[in-house]
Amino acid sequence: MNRTQDEFVAQRKPSWDELDGLLAKKSLLYKLPPASISRVAGLYREVCSDLMRARSAGFSAEIIDLLDALSARTSAALYSAPPYRWAGLRELILTGFPVSVRRHARFLLVAVALFVLPALLGFVGALHSRAFAIQVMPESMVAQMEKAYADMGHGRSGTTDSMMASFYVYNNVGIAFRCFATGLLFGLGSVFFLVYNGLLTGVVAGAVTAAGHGKNLFTFMAGHGAFELTAIVISGAAGMVMGYALVDTGPLSRWASLRLKARDLFCMVMGAALMLLIAALIEGFWSPSSVPPMVKWAVAGLLYVLVLSYLAFAGRASSRRPGP
């Protein structure tokens, strides 16, 4: 038993090399043939005991580092779940997203209030006073918005549509992600982005209405609003859930308390991002089209019913199992 380091290395190295070779073959262990998997498990135990022996015998740091790295890699390969399954996306849409939104319904209500109240304020303010509108956003932008919606109603060309849809993906999903992520600052970032975006939306609507193009604007917004506004509010709610988990930690540390919510947060944000992708397509291609306003309003109503009933009822059957 009292071997020198060099004898130890010489004797054990073939096993280490074999294990190293098996791990290098496939990044995921379960893709190896069954015999190789058992062999990896056996070699793993050997390497663990080699590591212990090397440590207690006080062998040099190089050999301990080598065994450390090898056994850690094997342990990770043996015990890990596959990094990603496409089935996860289906589960997210069918249950994960609506269930986690409902689980945090109180935060959703607060987020709705934080978005809608500033929007109403902005709308009423901008409707009655142009000075109010240009306090919130630059006058040139107000004028640009007014002009944009004055011209609306007779459709855009198809190429502009695809460009605008891409812009909405880039801009709106970005806003939603930022609205969520800054919630890490004890929820303050999410609150700010909700209020700010609500106010901005309200002011644009108010200014355009004051200029006499309100009908164009609301007809335009109605279609994608079901997806877009709901998704922004959900991502803001997710940010507040995250911030609140850092404040009300129960018996846990702040980060442990946050990690309990990690799955819900992930579901809410990914769900919101998917909704925004749909919204971008609607906003790019459907909302500016020259379909009669009545049809647009009917479709908008239908989409609202669809989105709200999806959030209210989807995944109820499977939501009884214990949540995280």
Partner 1 sequence: MRLDNTVEVETPEQVCFRFRVAGPARRAWAYLIDLAVRAVALLVVEIILLLAGGRHLGSSEAVVSSGTLLFLFVMEWGYFVAFESAWNGTTPGKRVLRLRVVKEGGYPLTFMDSMLRNLLRTADFLPVGYLLGVLVMTWDGRFARLGDRAAGTMVVIEDPVKAAPAISLEPPPSDAELAAFPHRLALPLPEREAIELLLRRRDLSPARRVELAEMLAPTLQRRFGVSSDDPVRFLALVFHLAVGGSGAGHSPPSPTQARP
Which residues make up the interface to partner 1 (CB under 8 A)? 2-7, 9-10, 13, 16, 27, 45, 48, 51-52, 58, 60, 62-63, 65-66, 68-69, 71-72, 75-76, 79-81, 83-84, 88, 159-160, 162-163, 165-167, 169-170, 173-174, 177-178, 180-182, 184-185, 189, 242, 255, 258-259, 262-263, 265-266, 269-270
Whichever of 174 and 212 has its CB closer to partner 1, that residue is 174
Contact 223, 296 (CB under 8 A): yes
Minimal distance, residue 256 CB to partner 1, in Å: 9
Whichever of 4 and 135 has its CB closer to partner 1, that residue is 4
Whichever of 4 and 318 has its CB closer to partner 1, that residue is 4
Minimal distance, residue 189 CB to partner 1, in Å: 7
Whichever of 231 and 269 has its CB closer to partner 1, that residue is 269
Helix (H) or strand (E) holding 75: helix 61-79
The neighbour count for residue 306, using CB atoms within 10 Å, is 12
Minimal distance, residue 172 CB to partner 1, in Å: 10
Residue 323: DSSP 8-state:
P
CB < 8 Å & 24+ apart, contacts of 171-175: 172/228, 172/231, 172/232, 172/276, 172/279, 172/280, 173/273, 173/276, 173/277, 173/280, 175/232
Whichever of 262 and 298 has its CB closer to partner 1, that residue is 262
Contact 15, 46 (CB under 8 A): yes
C-alpha to C-alpha distances, 222 to 34, 227, 298, 310, nearest whole angstrom: 57, 10, 10, 18
> How many angstroms separate the most distant Cα atoms in the chain?
93
